[in-house]
Amino acid sequence: MLFDNHGRKIDYVRLAVTDRCNLRCFYCMPEQGINYLPKKDLLTFEEIERLITLLASMGISKVRFTGGEPFVRKDFMDLVFRIGKIEGVREMHLTTNGVLTAPYVQDLKAAGIQSINLSVDTLDRERFKMITRRDEFDHVMKTMDSLLEHDFKVKINAVVMEDKNIEDILPLVEYTKSHPVSVRFIEEMPFNGEGSHYPKLTWTYKKILEHILTAYPNLRKLQDEPSSTSYNYTIEGHQGNIGVIAAFSRTFCGTCNRIRITAQGTLKTCLYDRGVLNIRDLLRSNPSDLPLRHALLDAFRQRPKNGFEAELTRAGAGVSESMSTIGG
């Protein structure tokens, strides 16, 4: 088992398979997009397989595929099947925007994906178009229906944005009445490729909860899983449930069990750090895994205590890169 310098178990890797995306969500990317990486800078499937095999031998048992939009990367499903065969990988999950996902739902099942996080910030077609700057709502909802038909565990990620989708909070809660999904409302972070949208975040997890309580006073707290990033609640008579994620307030760092690998193979031991190890270069310059194993262990031993401490390592540079580059 792997532990960091604060005694936290590390058993979960979030792997960005690309930095490219087919949406331009207001909270994630500027309208004109970001400078995408040239292909040679991305980890190849062979490199990813080698890396995950190493991480699994060290104690990482859970893998989440994310990006960018995973399905924008050519032959993405081949990678999922390959990772699913690695000894020690016991859980695989996916975060997707659902635009290109529907035709692959059966394959995702066959490959062993256990749950899917689908990004849906609104159930209103027009506002979806405004937030994502693309007219893809119907494709996303088709994916949602197909995932539920195939009995996938589905979590909806909804980023809460002042002046953009506040009116969508309650309809999304209501959606859980007739759909067995978990809707998670996420505090907006400044990871949008252009810097903070507000002088101060207004829609904190507390405010989101208070807002939901006005319409659903019978909200009941659920027992959260040990490394959960969300505070979860149930509503009587609803098939699904809801959660709030204090992504900006960072209340969950004390139990953080995750690391991130960006599309270009940079290790992040905290979402808010600047990237702490160039894994790609170590993979490319060493036929043996030993130097990489030592470098990874070193990085895990120097993990910041929380996202605030990690942010300080940016030396005042602030948080502004896109989540698409980081791997959401």
How many alpha carbons fall within 13 Å on the CB side of residue 77?
A: 12
Contact 154, 115 (CB under 8 A): yes
Stretch of 164-172, 187-195, 250-258, 270-278 contacting ligand SAM, by CB under 6 A:
187-195
Rounded to the nearest 5 degrees, what angle is found at the Cα of 325, between the Cα atoms of 17 and 263?
30
Does 154 bind ligand SAM (CB under 6 A)? Our answer is: no
Tell me, by CB under 6 A, how many residues bind ligand SAM.
21
Stretch of 35-43, 66-74, 172-180, 216-224 contacting ligand SAM, by CB under 6 A:
66-74
Does 182 bind ligand SAM (CB under 6 A)? Our answer is: no
Does 189 bind ligand SAM (CB under 6 A)? Our answer is: yes
Rounded CA separation 37/101 (Å)? 23
Buried b (16+ CB within 10 A) or exposed e, 275-308: bbbebbebbeeeeebeebeebbeebbeebbebbe
Choose which of 168, 188, 311, 321 interacts with ligand SAM (CB under 6 A): 188
Q: Identify which of 260, 170, 249 has the alpha carbon closest to the alpha carbon of residue 215.
A: 170
Rounded CA separation 98/245 (Å)? 21
SS3 readout for 121-149: CCCCHHHHHHHHCCCCHHHHHHHHHHHHH
Q: Identify which of 317, 200, 194, 182 has the alpha carbon closest to the alpha carbon of residue 248.
A: 200
Residues numbered 237-266 forming contacts with ligand SAM, rule: CB under 6 A: 247
Give the per-residue contact string, 15-44, with ligand SAM (x = CB under 6 A; - = no).
------x-----xx----------------
Choose which of 55, 79, 181, 186 interacts with ligand SAM (CB under 6 A): 186
C-beta nearest to ligand SAM: residue: 328
Would you mind telling me the total number of residues written for the chain in this entry? 328
CA dihedral 314, 319, 320, 322 (to 10 degrees): 100
CB of 25 to ligand SAM, least distance (A): 7
Does 169 bind ligand SAM (CB under 6 A)? Our answer is: no
* Nearest CB to ligand SAM, comparing residues 10 and 15: 15
* Nearest CB to ligand SAM, comparing residues 138 and 298: 138
Q: Tokens for 304?
A: 């910041």
Choose which of 152, 191, 216, 233 interacts with ligand SAM (CB under 6 A): 191
Residues numbered 82-111 forming contacts with ligand SAM, rule: CB under 6 A: 95-97
Site residues (CB under 6 A) for ligand SAM? 21, 27-28, 66-67, 69, 95-97, 119, 157, 159, 186, 188-189, 191-192, 247, 323-324, 328
